[in-house]
Amino acid sequence: MADDIFIKKDSAIQIGETLAKTGQDWWQSTARWLEVLAYDHKPSTGVSAKEILWRKNKSKLYHYQPTSERIYRVPVLLIYALINKPYVMDLTPGSSLVEYLVKEGYDVYLLDWGEFQWEDRELTYSDFVFDYIAPAARRVARNAGSTDISIIGYCMGGTMSTLYASLFNKPVLRNLVYLAAPIDFADAGAYDVWLRAPGYDPDRIVDAMELIPKGFMDWGTRMLNPVGNYLGTYTRLWKTIEEDEDEHFWKVLNKWATDNINFPGAAYREWIRDFYQHNKLIKNQITLRGRRVQLQRIKANLLALVGTRDHIALPHQTAAALTYLGGNDKTYLEYPVGHGGLVIGTLARDQVFPDIAAWLADRSDLMED
């Protein structure tokens, strides 16, 4: 093991030459590292061909253009969280869930929330479910010419899909896919300690901030792994350059990780108080516009995907869906990745995307039927 730190040469001169060359390589790597951090333009992301099917406020409903013949009648709607941006689902060609599903013959749609501003500070989960997700789902079904739809919800997007699924019957929700979506908020790791601490008062935060700034949201996520996020990200880039690996993937990932959005204050209050602090979702105590969210009412086929190294939505938080949701067809799959690893990286591309597509294929009508 320790042998790789030794240099063995025929003469001291050769050793000197090797050291000089390594020193020069390191200097070049470091110069390139600084160049990437300081000057390099951000790479393009979310480049799959699409049209805007519907827009409301800052949100947009994208319809992805087919790259192959459409095989499945049931369309797929992707719903992302209110933290960071949804182009992580269509990160870069060759590593994009959207691109994969379109190639497999699915009619794919994505609801992009846009960037919330001061006038959106009063938006609540009721608004998101009733005024955004429900109309989007109707438009997806109408455009696809189908009475049924499938929803893939990532992280908080999965939780929001659950709220929708419990309250709306039309269009029929045939399949529900969770990607690291928290359903049970008990034992939520570091968040459990932070958000239940006596000094942490969401009302006080919202009263003072109204619109929660993106920097605050970003800090909350990054502090879950401070060394990894504040230092490791940059040393990893240096290592990538020094070992002559492709830096493109680091760039797209870093672009997404630092591209956060503001969070509406009213929704933040609900998210912390009702979900994290009181765990109301699994207790069927969430009420949206006078209608109670009851998880047993959700009869859709369920696929729950988790990363075993996820420290944002812990595996058991998603696995709880198998206990609380009402359908009969439930599948649970684990992968040795973190929170982002379900949609980013080689394991996502080689295992997660094919698993999702295959599971949906067994549960979606063909176009000829």
310 is a catalytic site residue: yes
**Shortest Å, Cβ 219 to other proteins:** 10
Q: Which residue, 137 or 304, is less far from other proteins as judged by CB?
A: 137
**Shortest Å, Cβ 53 to other proteins:** 13
Q: Which residue, 2 or 69, is less far from other proteins as judged by CB?
A: 2
Instruction: Check if the beta carbon of residue 45 is closer than 8 Å to that of residue 91.
Output: yes
Q: Which residue, 11 or 328, is less far from other proteins as judged by CB?
A: 11
Beta strand 301-307 pairing with 291-292: unpaired
**Shortest Å, Cβ 263 to other proteins:** 15
Q: Which residue, 99 or 127, is less far from other proteins as judged by CB?
A: 127
Closest of 97, 106, 113 to residue 65, by C-alpha? 106
Q: Which two tokens stand for residue 353?
A: 């995307």
> How many Å apart are CA 69 and CA 4, to the nearest integer?
52
Closest of 66, 107, 48 to residue 367, by C-alpha? 107
Closest of 35, 25, 4, 27 to residue 251, by C-alpha? 35
Q: Which residue, 5 or 38, is less far from other proteins as judged by CB?
A: 5
**Shortest Å, Cβ 362 to other proteins:** 30
Got the DSSP string for 212-273?
EPHHHHHHHHHTTSHHIIIIIHHHHHHHHHHTT---HHHHHHHHHHT----EEHHHHHHIII
Q: Which residue has the tokens 């933040």?
A: 268
Cα→Cα distances 296→80, 148, 200, 303, Å: 23, 19, 32, 16
Out of 155, 184, 218, 274, pick the active-site residue. 155
Closest of 200, 230, 201, 220 to residue 260, by C-alpha? 220
**Shortest Å, Cβ 285 to other proteins:** 25
Out of 90, 107, 120, 310, pick the active-site residue. 310
Q: Which residues bind other proteins (CB under 8 A)?
A: 4-12, 14-15, 18-19, 22-23, 26, 56-57, 117-119, 121-122, 131, 135, 138, 142, 189-190, 193-194, 197-201, 204-205, 207-209, 223-228, 231-232, 235, 239, 242, 311
| Positions marked catalytic | 155, 310, 339
